[in-house]
Structure 1
Amino acid sequence: MNNAYHKQPIWQKPTLWLLAGFVLTLSSCNKKADDVSPQTTAATSSENATVDNWMLDNMRQLYYWNDKIPANPDTTLAPSDFFDSILYKFDATARPDGDRFSWTEEYATDLTASLSGQTKTTGMEFTLYLRSSGSTDVIAQVLYVLPNSPAAQAGLKRGDIISKVNGQTLTTTNYSSLLFSDATTYTFGLAQVSSQAVVDTDVSKTVTTAVYQENPVFLDSVYTIGGKTVGYLVYNQFVPAPNGSKATEYDDQVDAIFSKFKAKGVNELVLDLRYNPGGYTSSSANLASLIGKGVDASKLYFREEWNSTITPYLQQEYGSDFFLQKFSTKSQNIGANLSRVFVLTTDMTASASELIINGLRPYMTVTTIGTTTYGKNVGSITVTDDTGKIKWGMQPIVFKSFNNLGQSDYATGFKPSVEVEEPITLYPLGDTRDALLGAAIGQITGTATTGRVGVSQNPLKVLGSSIQRKAGGTPMVRSLKSLTL
């Protein structure tokens, strides 16, 4: 068996999570049903069996729940259906320890590109709400717009409210097909909040999608407030470099920001991971190494637990260090000036983002501000066929993570230390009037109000987010070099 496991960045977006679900419908174009040849059916079945058996062989060795794979699965199924059929799927009652995160893509190249932040996109992310209580109408509120993206060029910005797409009002039955279609051009009809109601306007923005490489390092600032020097970083995905690069350009940018923080004497840190669904554990370790108090290459960031089938092999081939992710010794580390770190969170904060929270807990006080995180304490690897014969790629869950204290207790998410919900009126990220950043500054200066913040300002029911579709939803991806079994 010849399998390649690529060890680059590793961690990350179920209902809305896959970037796109493509269904190929074959029509016979004026041919009668009996014109379909048995050879075609046999060929399709043979192709399915080849891919399915490749998936099965890899999953039986690598999958964290490999002892739960059915003994005789149906290898005539289409590969996406087959992959789904062998998962130990989560069920709140029957399988509360089950899998919510493994996924597959028809083209491995699409899978690796999305994990590196390269997708065909309008260039914006948004939250979906019911327009009002009891309504079936839906609105999409823009959370952020990527610089120089099609959405930015069209003039869309954080806080904008979309109520129509291509002239159709968004509803609970059509929002998915309208917002997440394969269209190349969208016309977004905008609405605004007036007298506590969402009201349509005559304004529309037309956006044409493009292949875009997202830089996860979105924004950084330094504030001097109340005698404190506060460093602030908005980081939206754990990606070390652009798609196709073997370097660490994005990690290097993060290093440079912390070098600046150190030079400016930053003694309080606000890490904004509210829209970060995860990414590569290598980038998570890099960021943690810049923050942790008293950490260096001798200290454990987290430990991995793999299945009992492959663990002995990995132990023999690579030694016990294979399962250990240590911190790095970084000259840009500002931990000596910090007694704590504030992390801004929502239910879109997942995987490698939660790894930051859990991994730093043994070394310093981690105060979370926002809402409960998603809850993903397991990680995956990218599996492709290095012979090139099979185009599919898989992203199966292969390990569970534990911090230096043996803690892995966040499968239901980290509840916030300070609960703050984002209001319907959004200020730009980095604006100190922003609800979550403002709450962090209030904690730092001692002027914080008590109780839940932002709830009365946003009574709308959340349906989901476009971020849940980002690179599979919520990846924590381990970057492997080559592993041949």
Structure 2
Amino acid sequence: MRVLGIIGLTILLQACGGGGGNTTQNQTPTTPPVTPPSGSTWQSGVFASEDVFKNRCEVPRTGTDLNGNTFPDIQGTTFDEQMWLRSWSNDTYLWYSEITDQNPQGFSTSIEYFNVLKTEELTASGAAKDNFHFSQSTEEYESFAQSGSQTGYGINWSFIRNSPPRSLRVSTVEPNSSASDAGVLRGDTLLSINGVDFINGSDVDAINNGLFPENENTETEFVFERNDGTEVTLTLRSGNFEKSFVNNTKIIDTDAGRVGYFRFDGFQRPGQTPLIDTFQTFVNANVTQLVMDLRYNGGGLLAMASQLGYMIAGPNQTNNAIFESSRFNDKYTNTNPVTGDSLSPTPFYDREIDWDSSTFTNRQLPSVNLSRIYVITTDSSCSASEALINSLRGIDIEVIQIGGTTCGKPYGFYPTGNCGTTYFTIQFQGVNNKNFGDYADGFKPTVSPQFDDELPGCVASDDFNNPLGNEQEGMLSAALFRMTEGICPSSNDQVLSSFANTKKTSNEENDKLSVFDARYRAIMLENSINTPILESQEK
């Protein structure tokens, strides 16, 4: 899913008072009565303020959050949680008028109700208009947002096909993880998990539980097929590991000049320093060409995308230019409905950000000052990745696209927590310096572009037989060929080319693994901090 910018966590924190007094043993505990808030009766088309229902929870949390703040929860009901979701969605959802207003009492859980609080309209290609509506445990979200750490085996997956016969391959393996220690390799194809057939099996819950463990120290048996056709059985133990965001940085000498290449897997807070260091390396090496590999980059902080745009284009091309402007629903044409601030565009940021103090440092960002770049993409290139492409085009940087159509998410949201769950609902659309932001079907590499969402470039398939960063790897090889020869390589398989440019239809979306859809987008989470100078948005 896309989430841009530096976003303040929207969980309201308030202290809870307690009373004194003596207690006696064997005293029967009592639950305080729940007083229904004013306006708590559902009436079609009538919406009470979301504040009426905020933090009224069926099961209030006790203790403190990851930052040591007392949970704000008070006793409420599932109906209160649902009514908060209803009012919040009606107020802030970009397409609020396309939500069918349904009585919450017809849904047993808050998440079940949240899942219907979105538009069912389709894009021009027949894909779901809103394909980025999901929720996640607040604790899990905050942990990843603050440190980039997540629970799992250290495997990043590439979902080739999500319905039987399924196809799932290892795209990358995180260093210092269980998968790395066990010898999992890029390109490994999953055959079974804990004895359950992954390809055609019907036990979706067992598959999801195995792929996405909720807790550490969960042992799971995987059977993979290697690229050479052999099978290997590996037992992996889940753990908490930190994701590496900047990888495979290298300098490549070509007939077209000195090329800087790097793979960037997420616009997340921990990636800022290595990203700046990478561009300083490119500046020191006097690179004249740049290949930016965003094939697995699902998005992140809008502010970091803005920084990267500056490091590519430099001060002259970004001077007084807009990186992105946000458009909310028609209730809020001048004001941000989440922050209450007046709307103002995001510029190209030229300095390092101090995340702890939410301010800029005095460190000026390096820049390679290029007017043309090559970007490697797949349908996993999403959100902030697409915003970066769009914003560079907005200041007339030529973007040559290599690979496949991006995911199509010119939208963003403010992750908002309530009662232990963080919800992600589309709240704004981003547009560039030229006021363009209509790429809901993704950016497409095209030999001869005719439409605004088509970019000059070459279709190429993800090559699982070669390491990422290897000059023989299919996508990087195609980028270097296009750079030196001025044309696309002629060896692209037409079937793969067709697949790479095919968007998923709404029916295909329904065939996905039930948990995969949300988890896939959760990996794209954008970090968030409260900041007075940087608008808190995620893409």
User: Which category of TM-score, normalised to the shorter sequence, fits these structures?
Assistant: 0.7 to 0.9
Once the two structures are TM-superposed, the CA of residue 298 in structure 1 deviates from its matched residue by 2.2
User: Which residue of the other structure, out of 67, 71, 84, is the alignment partner of 1:54?
Assistant: 84
The number of residue pairs the alignment matches comes to: 425
1:444–1:399: structure 2 CA closer, same or farther, 3 Å change rule? same
Shift in alpha-carbon separation, 1:170–1:96, aligned structure 2, 3 A: closer
Corresponding residue number in structure 2 for 1:191: 225
Q: Paired residue for 1:370, among 403, 406, 428?
A: 403
Pick the aligned partner of 2:129 from 98, 107, 110. 98
The alignment partner of 1:279 has SS state of coil
Matches for 1:252-401 after TM superposition, within 5 Å: 252-293=273-314, 294-296=316-318, 298-314=320-336, 318-321=341-344, 324-330=345-351, 331-336=364-369, 338-363=370-395, 364-385=397-418, 390-401=419-430
Q: Is 1:342–1:366's contact at 8 Å kept on the other side of the alignment?
A: yes
Superposition TM-score, scaled by structure 1 size? 0.77
Deviations 1:66-125 (A, max 9, x none): 2334456325631001212322234458997832212223x3222233455332111112
| Residue of structure 2 aligned with 1:142, choices 166, 170, 175 | 170
SS in 2 for 1:143: strand
Once the two structures are overlaid, the 10-residue window that deviates more, 277-286 or 120-129, is 120-129
SS of 1:262 mapped into structure 2: helix
Indicate how the Cα distance of structure 1 residues 193 and 152 shifts in structure 2: closer, same or farther if over 3 A, else same: closer
Indicate yes or no: 2:468 matched with 1:429. Answer: yes
Please tell me whether the aligned partners of residues 381 and 407 of structure 2 are also in contact (alpha carbons under 8 angstroms): yes
Where relative contact order (Cα < 8 A, 6+ residues apart) is larger, the structure is: 1
Q: Which runs of 5+ in 1 are unaligned?
A: 1-5, 11-38, 242-249
CA distance 1:347–1:314, shift in 2 (3 Å):
closer
Structure 2 gaps, min length 5: 9-32, 37-56, 60-75, 352-363, 446-456, 505-510
CA RMSD of aligned residues (A): 3.7
Aligned to 1:442: 481
**CA 1:176–1:276: 2 relative to 1, 3 Å:** farther
Indicate the percent of aligned positions where both proteins have the same amino acid.
21
Bigger mean CA offset, 82-91 vs 176-185: 176-185
Partners in 2 of 1:458 and 1:174 — Cα distance? 30
The answer (yes or no) to whether the contact 2:188–2:227 under 8 Å persists in 1 is no
Q: 1:339 to 1:314 in 2, by over 3 A?
A: closer
Paired amino acid for 1:180: N
Question: How far has the Cα of 1:285 moved from its partner?
Answer: 1.2
Contact kept, 8 Å, 2:134 with 2:518, in 1: the verdict is: no
Deviation for aligned residue 1:370: 0.3
Amino acid at match of 1:144: T
Match of 2:251 in 1: 222
- For residues 283-325 of structure 1, what are the alpha-carbon distances to aligned partners after superposition, in whole Å with 9 as ceiling and x for unaligned? 211211211253446210111101122344449953342xx11
Counterpart of 2:140 in structure 1 is: 110
| Separation (CA, whole Å) in 2 of partners of 1:229 and 1:80 | 51
Q: Does the C-alpha gap of structure 1 residues 380 and 158 become closer, same or farther in structure 2, counting only changes over 3 Å?
A: same
1:399: how far off? 0.3
Confirm or deny: 8 A CA contact 2:145 2:526 kept in the other structure: no
Tell me the SS of whatever aligns to 1:397. coil
Cα separation, 1, equivalents of 2:207 and 2:497: 22
For residue 153 of structure 1, the aligned residue among 177, 181, 186 is 181
Over residues 329-349 of structure 1, what are the superposed CA-to-partner deviations in whole Å (9 max), with x where a residue is unaligned?
35444342x231100011111
Question: Does structure 2 conserve the Cα–Cα contact (< 8 Å) formed by 1:73 and 1:86?
Answer: no
User: Which letter maps to 1:218?
Assistant: N
Separation of aligned partners in 2, 1:49 and 1:200: 53
**2-structure distance, mates of 1:162, 1:97:** 28
